[in-house]
Amino acid sequence: MESIVIVEGASDRVALETLAGRRGRDLAAEGVEVVAIGGAHAIAAFLRGVGRELRLAGLCDAGEEGDFRRGLERAGLGSVVDRGAMEKLGFYVCEPDLEGELIRALGTTGVEAVLGRSGKLTSFRTFQKQPQWQGRPVDAQLRRFFGSSAGKIRHASLMVEALDLARVPRPLDGVLGHVDGRNA
């Protein structure tokens, strides 16, 4: 193993692995391991156990950016004062989260098509009828739906499969570029 991509959870790992596969990359053969650490709070402890000879990269949600910054600094990787500093280290922030990035890239119609193919569109339509979600923007409804009953991990892969490769969200593209040396 030459590189580790640190992500918060399994849906992030699945999305990156699916994207790499769509681009014809075999991360394992390249010596890249994508590791879900079980939440941003675990980054400092994870980094303490990682060898310094490895190329590191990572992906986090905007709400966990502070945890990642502090973890990177505590691990001795330098002063991480803003996203630019994080990106120089290979760490990218999803705004506001992975699902938000994928929904923006696909558009709500594209995401609804994915839900149709997965058999979850009827469930989403029922979710939209709940009083607390009526009248809210469809992208907000979709983000909440993925966070509840839709199957976040399964749909991360399906949404990445549906992506136009010319519209890959910047954070996903940046992380994979860092571990192949394009952004290093």
Same domain, 45 and 65: yes
CA-based radius of gyration for the chain: 17
pLDDT per residue rounded down to tens, the chain (184 residues)? 699 999 999 999 999 999 999 999 999 999 999 999 999 989 999 998 887 788 999 999 999 999 999 999 999 988 999 999 999 999 999 999 999 999 999 999 999 999 999 999 999 999 999 999 999 999 999 999 998 766 889 899 999 999 999 999 999 999 999 998 655 5
Angle formed at CA 43 by CA 24 and CA 159, multiple of 5 degrees: 35
Q: Using an 8 Å Cβ cutoff, are 100 and 108 in contact?
A: no
Give the per-residue pLDDT at 17.
97
Give the per-residue pLDDT at 149.
64
Domain span at residue 107? 98-152
Same domain, 88 and 53: yes
Same domain, 132 and 147: yes
